[in-house]
A and B are shown apart, each in its own frame.
Chain A
Amino acid sequence: MGLNFSFLTRKTGQLLAGVLLAQTALCSAALAEDRAELMAKHRGGTMTLAAVSAAGTIDPMINYTAQFWQIYQMTYDGLVKFKQAGGTDGFEIVPAIAEAIPQAENDGKTYVFKIRKGIMFSNGKEVTPSDVLASFQRIFKVKGPTTGSFYGGIVGADKCIETAETCTLEGGVIADDAAGTVTINLTAPDAEFFSKLAVPHASILPADAPLADAGTTPIPGTGAYFFESYNPNEQLVMKRNPHFKEWSVDAQPDGFADEVIYKFGLTEEAAINAIINGQLDWLYDTPPADRLPEIGSKYASQIKIDPLAALWYAPMNTNLAPFNDVRVRQAVNYALDRDSLVGLFGGEVLAQPTCQILPPDFPGHVDDCIYTKEPGPTWAEPDMEKAMQLVEESGTKGQKVTVIAEDNAVARGIGTYIQSVLSELGYDASMKAVSPNIQFTYIQNTNNNVQISISQWYMDYPAASNFLNVLLSCASFTPGSDSSVNMSGYCNKDLDATMKDAMTLALTDQNAANAKWAEADKGFMEQAPMAPLFTPKSVNFTSARLGNYLFNKQNRWIISQSWVQ
């Protein structure tokens, strides 16, 4: 049943609209005033962050880690950007370097972006359409990890992927410095194109940025801060961009702290102690499990728990025994006690059991669990009897199975638990912990003959395709490659077609598209190429002095919007 607005006349409607507009304008003015007041009160100081290790290259077009994507929010901008706001507002795409979000032309294949005037890079140069063109060319020249998957739909991208050195994107990206516009032509309409433009891989950099991985040498950006120095073994120093003027509070709000120092190399234990003692303001890594009860009770006001669009799962190699038998994969899904797995992650406050691929409250997610004792909307308890029966029917009992997990406390714990479950199901199971530096690529490469592993997936942008299409499409499976994120090696043409339909539908009808994604999610789970384990939550432990904590569902804690004085 919907609401009925037929009692409104045209005149009262106009009046109401006027009141609403005035209210919005007043609210905005009030917010701006509040913000100015807060800025005057809290601006300044040095914020000190920490992580156990750095996240590799500082190059925003190459780095593919949540850790550095978070800090790129305050140092770089794309044509568009995810809104720098708390909660699900962070999923909204707002104009950044572009003045406005353009309307699609040419049946959804062309977009003309008007570039804002007066935006300066931290090296003092003004952003021009030529910089935008050079940045798009650079995406291909530096061969970033999403070059093909995100930007392969731009006209001319195929040539750029073939011969990156001579990439011009002719006909694909057209810069007009005089008109101040950039036109992007696509080979086909893409409902997720703006999301792909909003991630750091599409950051706008100076045209003279190096045409190779910048490594540890910072590249100037347009954000409120710039990278002053970066030593992955020591620290990353961010200072205010001297040429920055707040041109969009939604896309790039001015920051509170004068300086942000990101330290690397401390252990989680040491970092937690330092936060308690006021020597650090925040730790990127999840606090160690044995400190959670203590900080959750003694320092409860400093703990922030927020939901994440993410998934911990166990991919099962559908091309290797015993998981080439769908009954075995289903058996694993039935046998897992997801409550126990949640316990290994830190308890029900920090994670939620799931037996679906799309996270809860995510586009396309419909509550439905088939791998529980009494199938229903959510997971309730394991069905060991059913699991044993399926394994018996498969005739694979006694086979050797090795679980590959990352060599850290949580992943090793989960790996050991799954090994134990497999033993209970009758397999000769063992668990191997592999260094976190190589585990993710190791489990992707079919040459390593990984049967079952533990992995995690955190979305790049809020779209169901970023889970289902990326993790399980035929195109994501490249045998013998370290970049074959479809670790299950599962390829189902029918489900691929369903996903393609969903992506086409998204151009015109998002609800219908979501229904299609839900269908695909269920279809995959029936074939069980993976065992979803739980949806984790973000745990941030901050110093007592840190104020104005805002959690953005897309890019997590908005560092620049917190203050330390």
Chain B
Amino acid sequence: MSAPSKVDKVLESYSFAKRDKLIPILQEVQAADGYISKPAALKVAKHLNIPASKVYGVATFYNQFRFKPVGKYHVMICRGTACHVKGSAGVLKMCEEVLGIKAGDTTRDGLFSIEVVACIGACGLAPVISVNGEFHAKVTPDKLRKLVDDLRKAEASNGK
């Protein structure tokens, strides 16, 4: 047997838990691993004695769970009411377009990931996004494209 993984440690702290603990367990697994991996979901299912389809069904019901590791640059796009009114739909659309992925996904090179959040709590700055926790205010699709381009250029020159 290999050393217990982070997921095993989470499950250890939930011995004898029933299915009502599914969401807290998933949250801790995601906090530990950064995402819900397939093996982790299977372990959780076995631990709680519920079908994996149920675990997946519950996890996909909520926006907070992701099934791929986040990218080096994790872009959170606020889709709260104020940001929506100020055009966050266009920002999200542009973000998906320039990165070639959908919200919740991670680019194949592992550089970028997109997450849609309901409200970041910075409505005065709407529409707002955050990249790795750093906020960008009054974002337009064009601003976002430039931001992504800059990050890509920085990465490319780092690689040289």
* Interaction A to B: no
